[in-house]
């Protein structure tokens, strides 16, 4: 019976598979096999023994049920794998796990799992970036009202909004690429990190194991890989999730009935409410925002895993069994929700135009101010004049144009034609379109 929603509601099966018991066991076996081959390479064990261990270090030979049976007796998960593998290897079984401590195996196996996940994560980010760049291109000249403090400010474009989102995703890609060498590492250092049980070839054995597995190696460690690496990874996932939270929150706000400029796509048979038939709720965006909270909270927990007692303790272990798979699966999930969300956005251009004109032209006060300054009025004087006229327009519920064309101080500097030009939102976009085109060139 499912307990965690990841098991039946959230997450893609191909990503869940990375963290399922069988794949985790296989990664542990991969590390044990690589260790045996390294021992054989430096002459510590017979090559035939390493070959036998490598052949049998497969879940087709070693069943999870047997591992659990042993663990129930000895109360140690890694030693249960060691015993189960040794059973399968006959006389060669005496060389399984030679010189290693548990975290040599589990931390290195985790790095293999994260290496698998990185491929999905980076692919997700690239796909989302592509969708956002496409929206930026399509809507580079879709003029809309900009909002600051929740209030109408000056015109902007949807293209610029999506270009900003795309560059944020690119920064996450850059962070992940930069962090790979710190996160995708393994260790083979033995108890407390001295490599004493490996003898004179300890450093060589570690090097051989990591080369075999395609991982980087720690420069130095104690009994575990230091948890600042894992915290960095989960903090990166939290940063990604908070960006998605931000993007989804923007869509939720723009979908509000009072704004209604943009909305999630709504399927033909989709139901919005169990009691209100008219409802069309932003369920993808709300799910993204909700799950981002879990990912963020897990990152906070990962910081508490950094300070462990002396050469190690186990307080990180139980926590990480939950937070790492959960954060990875949920981050991938909300990334894919975001891809679908932005692929299927619905724009209401009438609402966009209506909102652009909602303030009766007052959003163009800065534009008029700049025009007055260009004609010779002082900037401070122009600002104060337009502040007063904007308030007059608001209080009297008349258009800003009506107030402007009647004001003698404005008319001294600007003709009606110049006032109309200054009040045109499409003429006050600065370099917005140029910036979008630059982002398309650089990131496309």
β-bridge partners, 155:
145
Tell me how far apart the alpha carbons of residues 90 and 52 are, in angstroms, rounded to a whole number.
9
The three state secondary structure string of 28-68 is HHHHHHHHHHHHHHCCCCCHHHHHHHHHHCCCCCCCHHHHH
Q: Are 75 and 64 in contact (CB under 8 A)?
A: no
Q: Are 85 and 57 in contact (CB under 8 A)?
A: yes
DSSP at 415: -
Residues carrying an active site annotation:
149, 273
∠ CA 426-432-438, rounded to 5°: 140
∠ CA 401-407-413, rounded to 5°: 90
Which of helix, strand or coil describes residue 185?
strand
Beta-strand ranges (E) seen in 100-204 are 143-148, 151-157, 185-186
Which of helix, strand or coil describes residue 295?
helix
Tell me how far apart the alpha carbons of residues 52 and 32 are, in angstroms, rounded to a whole number.
12
Largest CA distance in the chain: 103
């Amino acid at each position: 019976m499912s307990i965690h929603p990841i098991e039946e509601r959230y997450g893609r099966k191909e990503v869940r598979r990375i963290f399922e018991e069988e794949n985790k066991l296989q990664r542990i076996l991969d590390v044990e096999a690589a260790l045996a081959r390294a021992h054989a390479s430096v002459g510590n064990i017979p090559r035939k023994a390493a070959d036998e261990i490598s052949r049998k270090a497969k879940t087709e030979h070693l069943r999870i049920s047997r591992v659990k049976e042993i663990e129930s007796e000895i109360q140690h998960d890694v030693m249960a794998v060691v015993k189960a593998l040794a059973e399968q290897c006959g006389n060669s079984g005496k060389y399984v796990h030679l010189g290693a401590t548990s975290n040599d195996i589990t931390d290195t196996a985790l790095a293999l799992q994260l290496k698998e996940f990185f491929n999905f994560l980076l692919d997700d980010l690239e796909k989302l970036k592509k969708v956002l760049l496409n929206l930026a291109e399509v809507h580079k000249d879709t003029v809309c009202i900009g909002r600051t403090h929740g209030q109408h400010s000056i015109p902007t474009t949807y293209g610029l909004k999506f270009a900003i989102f795309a560059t944020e995703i690119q920064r996450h890609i850059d962070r992940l690429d930069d962090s790979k060498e710190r996160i995708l590492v393994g260790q083979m250092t033995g108890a407390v990190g001295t490599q004493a049980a490996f003898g004179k070839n300890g450093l060589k054995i570690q090097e051989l194991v990591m080369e075999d597995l395609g991982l980087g190696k720690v420069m130095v460690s104690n009994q575990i890989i230091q948890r600042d690496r894992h915290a960095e990874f989960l903090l990166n996932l939290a940063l990604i999730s908070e960006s998605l939270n931000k993007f989804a929150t923007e869509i939720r706000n723009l979908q509000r009935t009072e704004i209604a400029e943009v909305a999630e796509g709504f399927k033909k048979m989709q139901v919005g409410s169990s009691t209100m038939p008219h409802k069309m709720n932003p369920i993808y965006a709300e799910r993204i925002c909700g799950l981002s909270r879990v990912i963020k909270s897990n990152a906070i927990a990962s910081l508490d895993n950094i300070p462990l007692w002396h050469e190690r303790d186990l307080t990180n272990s139980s926590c990480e069994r939950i937070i790492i798979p959960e954060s990875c699966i949920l981050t991938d999930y909300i990334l894919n929700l975001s891809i679908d969300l932005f692929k299927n956005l619905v724009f209401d251009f009438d609402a966009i135009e209506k909102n652009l004109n909602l303030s009766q032209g007052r959003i163009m006060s800065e534009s008029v101010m700049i025009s007055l300054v260009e004609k010779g009025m002082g900037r401070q004087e122009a600002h104060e004049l337009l502040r007063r006229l904007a308030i007059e327009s608001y209080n009297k519920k008349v258009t800003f144009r009506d107030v402007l064309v009647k004001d003698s101080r404005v008319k001294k500097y600007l003709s009606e034609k110049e006032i109309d030009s200054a009040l045109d939102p499409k003429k006050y976009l600065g370099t917005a379109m140029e910036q979008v085109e630059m982002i398309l060139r650089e990131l496309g």
